[in-house]
Structure 1
């Protein structure tokens, strides 16, 4: 007669499910530096046009903040071919040269989650491929 396999106690399975849920939740959360950012003037929320350009009013707001030594943030929404949103937050502050960029990708076929980038030379909305991980 073969011995019956031992099943894990129910509490072990519950802990495993909770641990997986916690990891998933953390991966979807914004970085702490995004959540704790100071008060920023909003430059609005815009979508890129068909050429891939950000409307001038949003970029003008960021450039003015850089020039005046104030803080501002612009939220830009892009969509993947499948229609998944990618939200990019461009941020300027007086204590940071260039721009900080936070990307919240909800791309179902690509990289999901948050990225925090530093664009020290940026004087306009940068191409995030030219930035480095912060």
Structure 2
């Protein structure tokens, strides 16, 4: 007579270790990101959608309404390994260019949060010179 209890117990230990390791690699959003001003949101897009039709997203970020009220566009892309990366493009009212937050904390090979300001941005394809904020 054999028992499966040790195998189940070992499986739970392995699962718990994977959860702890995964959790320890996750980087929470910075407080400055969590407390950023609310802006009208553009419909979210994937990087593939953006490449196919950049006009709609660009119109949302660089249009007259965005100049008056601001706008935020979230673009989701995937790494070669299939990890999700999100970039938040923000048009802040009465401010030239874009503010860009990149969340690569989902990348299993490293990552975290990056915050840049791109005052020369005239489109998503032409951000100009950006600096760390």
Normalising by structure 1, what TM-score? 0.68
Greater helix content: 2
Q: Which moved more, 1:33-42 or 1:79-88?
A: 33-42
**RMSD across aligned positions (CA):** 2.9
User: Which aligned segments of 4 or more residues in structure 1 are displaced greater than 3 angstroms?
Assistant: 50-55, 65-68, 126-130
State the aligned residue count: 110
- Which consecutive unaligned segments of at least 5 residues does structure 1 have? 1-23
Q: Does 1:98 align with 2:92?
A: no
When residues 65 and 115 of structure 1 are mapped into structure 2, their CA distance, relative to the original with a 3 A threshold, is: farther
Q: How many angstroms apart in 2 are the aligned matches of 1:93 and 1:124?
A: 14
Greater strand content: 1
Normalising by structure 2, what TM-score? 0.68
Q: How many angstroms apart in 1 are the aligned matches of 2:50 and 2:39?
A: 28
- Which consecutive unaligned segments of at least 5 residues does structure 2 have? 1-23
Trace 1:1-134 onto structure 2 (pairs within 5 A). Answer: 28-49=27-48, 52=51, 55-65=54-64, 68-105=67-104, 106-109=106-109, 111-126=110-125, 130-134=129-133
